[in-house]
Amino acid sequence: MALDLHFRSSSVEIKSTREIDAMREVGRLAGDSLMKVAELIRPGVTTNELNQFVHEDTLKKGARPAPLNYRNGDSPPFPKSICTSLNEVVCHGIPSQRVLREGDIVNVDITHIYRGFHGDTSATFYVGKPSEEAKLVTEVARRSLELGIAEVRPGARLGDIGAAIQEFAEARGCSVVEDFVGHGIGRKFHDEPKVAHYGERGKGMRLKAGMTFTIEPMINLGTHEVEILDDEWTAVTADGRLSAQFEHTVLVTATGVEVLTARAGRLANSEIFPDYFG
């Protein structure tokens, strides 16, 4: 898939103070749902049960789940309220009767709409005790997102984000998915700019205070190539090896970055190896 990554800063929305307040609110709500669903993850639970929980939790807050019936180009409407992407699934996995099993990794991706604005966040979770491979790909993905976020400030370029992620992931023997990227976000779910998780420092659009976008690196153990299943949504690694992903919605502030989907506490079944990289 060819992605046009050339955007002019002027074509990217700068949010007003009021809009930023709304983005903060929806971001916090989405992060809160992710923290709560984390507690349910264990062997024996189905991905439909995770979907049902988040669906109800979203409505309880007066928010709506953005994925439900979402259309992207020619694809059929997405049938569920969250994405659940297991093991070799890179992204856009559809919740089903599939039971979580000991040793699986599963990404849960939540997007709320509240007061007209979107908040988009995801994490990869361990089901029971992970294999060394599962740990590696998951912890590399987690750190990749942190390193990408650390590049965000006014005047930095999109390529700085991509390069930081790509350099780290490849140094750890993993690969970076290119066919799916982060995105501008606000009243629209997927807006400009496209935020590639690979690239060159000093290249790409310059960031300006008031921009809001996601960073959501998908990191594979083997090839970066992906394939789409017949359901027209589920993206899997071409070699069937593991893939992991983490996502935050961020705001470029006057001095740096604010993570709009930051959470109030630790993520159960995910943030359990704080010393992985020493």
CB nearer Co ion, residue 166 or residue 261: 261
Tell me how far, at minimum, the Cβ of 229 lies from ligand MF3, in Å.
13
> Do the beta carbons of residue 247 and residue 85 sit within 8 Å?
no
Q: What does 65 interact with, of ligand MF3, Co ion, none (CB < 5 to 8 A by kind)?
A: none
- Should residue 191 be labelled a site residue for ligand MF3 when binding is judged by CB under 6 A? no
> Nearest-CA neighbor of 117 among 235, 199, 40, 212?
212
Q: Applying CB under 6 A, does 87 fall inside the site for ligand MF3?
A: no
Q: What is the longest distance spanned by two Cα atoms in the chain?
A: 49
Does residue 150 sit in helix, strand or coil?
A: helix
- Answer yes or no whether residue 92 interacts with ligand MF3 by CB under 6 A: yes
Phi then psi for residue 199, to 5 deg, are 150, -170
Contact residue for ligand MF3 among 148, 247, 249, 251 (CB under 6 A):
247
Q: Which of 70, 126, 198, 246 binds ligand MF3 (CB under 6 A)?
A: 70
Rounded distance, CA 93 to CA 127, Å? 16
Of 129, 126, 160, 158, residue with least CA distance to 142 = 126
Candidates 26, 34, 63, 67; binder of ligand MF3 (CB under 6 A) is 67
Interface residue list for ligand MF3 (CB under 6 A): 67, 70, 78, 83, 92, 109, 111, 120, 216, 233, 247
